[in-house]
Amino acid sequence: MTTDDLTRQIRDLHAEATGALAAATDAGAVEGLRHDLLGRSGRLTAILRSLSTVPARERPAIGQLANGVRGELEEAIAQRLGELGGRDLEARLEAERLDMTAPGRPVRVGHLHPLMTVERDFREIFHAFGFEVFEGPEIETDEMNFEALNIPPDHPSRDLWDTLFIAEPGSDPPVPAADGTILRTHTSPVQIRAMRALEPPIRVIMPGRCFRYDAVDASHSFEFFQVEGLVVDETTSLADLKGTLIEFARALYGRDTRTRFRPGYYPFTEPSVAFDVGCLVCGGSGCPACRRTGWMTILGAGMVHPHVLRAGGIDPDRYQGYAFGMGLDRITMLRHEIPDLRLLMAADLRFLDQFAGGR
């Protein structure tokens, strides 16, 4: 190959490469052009390898021309890659641009169940009265659930229609456990546990879940929540009980809440009372919710029976106390005017989202 042929090829290749670089629209095309021209098998590399066919005296001039073109092409390729890279970056930034003035995406925040909100209010109210929280197990013995609470063996609440018994291990068909283990039917057994664990004076509330073998309807369920209260001291009186419950009702429902006490009966208190508040639906004028009486019963209470004090290890000749218990479900329904108990247990977000303002 003559010197003129190599010179022409190098100049033609330079002109072609310059045009191709100008026409390249992305970095991939430029990299392909670099490989085609300057790679180990590239066209310019092949021309440089053919210098051995040129007379020795003419090689320096051809080599200088070829290396000069190679340098120009490397510089042009680097410059074109920079231009295309900057353009690609601008395009990507534009495509990924965020409008910082646009409203953010809403984040779904959970909240307490209305039952738990009311229970927390109970805790805060009674804490202000000097009460502490004392909790007990949901699985109880017959002795703690009945005997220690002055409920004899022939009491109706022991019947299978009211009590859920734990099955005897291995029994088929299941039969009640020989030791009388049951799901507690009320939170009252915790009174016994509190008296046995604490020294007077005692001021505790005992919230928790209870179970009864009951048909499920708008006002009944086999699973429900209660809050029990217990005070034991040397000078405790029925007047203390009345004052505490009146202030509790006003703290829960408002300072203008009307209250009244009526005689009642519970095996573990003597004397016993029922505590009513003015109907929260009609304001006391009489409606179906209050059976046209203008009053709603929210809890039962009374002075702790001496037999119960003895079962708790307390000397009834020295100490006396009062207790009260209420259904947390009923209190919640009255507070929020919920017509059906089953709504509280249905886990329906359409219902529960109405209470998102709860803590």
Tell me how long the chain is.
359
What local confidence, expressed as pLDDT, does residue 358 receive?
57
Q: Tell me the C-alpha distance between 216 and 164, whole Å.
A: 15
Q: Tell me the C-alpha distance between 263 and 275, whole Å.
A: 9
Total-model pTM:
0.68
What local confidence, expressed as pLDDT, does residue 291 receive?
81
What local confidence, expressed as pLDDT, does residue 187 receive?
95
What local confidence, expressed as pLDDT, does residue 224 receive?
93
Q: Tell me the C-alpha distance between 188 and 224, whole Å.
A: 14
What local confidence, expressed as pLDDT, does residue 285 receive?
84
Q: Would you write out the chain's pLDDT as a tens digit for each of its 359 residues?
A: 566 667 777 777 777 777 777 777 777 777 777 777 777 777 777 777 766 666 777 767 777 777 777 777 777 777 777 776 677 667 777 777 877 888 888 887 788 899 999 999 999 999 999 999 999 999 999 999 999 999 988 888 888 778 899 999 889 898 888 888 999 999 999 999 999 999 999 999 999 999 998 888 888 899 999 999 999 999 999 999 999 999 999 998 889 899 999 999 999 999 999 999 998 778 778 887 778 888 988 999 999 999 999 999 999 999 999 999 999 998 898 888 888 889 998 888 889 888 876 55
What local confidence, expressed as pLDDT, does residue 359 receive?
53
Paired strand residues for 139: 183
